[in-house]
Amino acid sequence: MQVLTSLTGFPEWLPAGQLVEQRVLAHLCRVFELHGFGPLDTRHVEPLARLSRGGEVEKELYAVVRHQGPSDAVAKLGLHFDLTVPFARYVDENAGRLPFPFKRYQTQKVWRGERPQDGRYREFRQVDIDVVGQGELPSHFESELPAVMAEALAGLPLPPLRMRLNNRELAEGFFEAIDVAEPVTALRAIDKLDRHGPTVVEDELLAAGLSASQAQLCLGLAAITTPDGSFVERVRALGVQGDRLDAGLAQLALVLGDLQALAPGLAEADLGVARGLDYYTGTVYETLMVGHEALGSVCSGGRYDDLVGGAKKYPGVGLSLGLTRLLARLLGDDSLAVSRPTPTCVLVALPDDARRRDCRALAQALRARGIPADVAPTASKYGKQIKHAEARGIPYVWFPGDDGASDEVKDLRSGTQVPADAASWEPAAGDRTVELALPQG
Contact window for a second copy (CB under 8 A) among 224-232, 247-255, 268-276, 366-374:
366-374
Q: Is 310 in the site for a second copy (CB under 8 A)?
A: no
* Pair 101, 141: CB distance under 8 Å: yes
Cα gap 104→148, rounded to integer Å = 12
| 82, 113, 242, 365: which one binds a second copy (CB under 8 A) | 113
Question: Taking CB under 8 A as the criterion, which residues in 397-436 touch a second copy?
Answer: 433-434
Amino acid at 289: M
- Is 140 or 413 the residue whose CB approaches a second copy more closely? 140
Cα gap 14→3, rounded to integer Å = 8
Question: Taking CB under 8 A as the criterion, which residues in 24-83 touch a second copy?
Answer: 26, 29, 33-45, 47-48, 52, 58-59, 61-69, 72, 74-75, 77-79
Q: At what angle do helices 212-222 and 168-177 cross, to 10 degrees?
A: 160
Buried b (16+ CB within 10 A) or exposed e, 9-33: bbbebeebbebbbebbeebbbebbe
Q: How far is the CB of 200 from a second copy (least distance, A)?
A: 28
Q: How far is the CB of 119 from a second copy (least distance, A)?
A: 17
Amino acid at 8: T
Q: How far is the CB of 40 from a second copy (least distance, A)?
A: 6
| 97, 199, 383, 415: which one binds a second copy (CB under 8 A) | 97
Distances (CA, A) of 60 to 76, 110, 114, 301: 16, 11, 6, 20
Q: Which residues fall within 8 angstroms of residue 441, CB to CB, at 6 or more apart?
A: none
Q: Is 220 in the site for a second copy (CB under 8 A)?
A: no
Q: Is 262 in the site for a second copy (CB under 8 A)?
A: yes
Q: How far is the CB of 66 from a second copy (least distance, A)?
A: 5
Find, among 172, 244, 180, the residue nearest to 216 by Cα: 180
- Is 34 or 223 the residue whose CB approaches a second copy more closely? 34
Question: In terms of C-beta density within 10 A (0-12 exposed, 13-18 middle, 19 or more buried), how is residue 215 classed?
Answer: buried
Distances (CA, A) of 303 to 94, 159, 276, 321: 22, 26, 10, 15
Q: Is 372 in the site for a second copy (CB under 8 A)?
A: yes
For the chain, the C-alpha Rg in angstroms (whole number) is 27
* Pair 231, 273: CB distance under 8 Å: no
Q: Is 257 in the site for a second copy (CB under 8 A)?
A: no
Q: How far is the CB of 428 from a second copy (least distance, A)?
A: 18
Q: Is 354 in the site for a second copy (CB under 8 A)?
A: no
Q: How far is the CB of 16 from a second copy (least distance, A)?
A: 9
Q: How far is the CB of 377 from a second copy (least distance, A)?
A: 5
| 28, 80, 90, 166: which one binds a second copy (CB under 8 A) | 90
Q: Is 6 in the site for a second copy (CB under 8 A)?
A: yes
- Is 173 or 341 the residue whose CB approaches a second copy more closely? 341
Q: How far is the CB of 97 from a second copy (least distance, A)?
A: 6
Contact window for a second copy (CB under 8 A) among 13-21, 174-182, 267-275, 309-317:
13-21
Helix (H) or strand (E) holding 128: strand 123-132
- Is 44 or 244 the residue whose CB approaches a second copy more closely? 44
Find, among 80, 168, 88, the residue nearest to 132 by Cα: 88
- Is 357 or 381 the residue whose CB approaches a second copy more closely? 357
β-pair partners for 284: 166, 302
Question: Taking CB under 8 A as the criterion, which residues in 122-161 touch a second copy?
Answer: 122-123, 133, 138, 140-141, 144
Distances (CA, A) of 422 to 363, 366, 419: 8, 6, 10
| 377, 419, 430, 439: which one binds a second copy (CB under 8 A) | 377
Q: How far is the CB of 423 from a second copy (least distance, A)?
A: 16
- Is 52 or 335 the residue whose CB approaches a second copy more closely? 52
Instruction: Provide the edge-to-edge strand list for the sheet that holds 346-348.
Output: 373-375, 346-348, 396-399, 407-411, 417-420
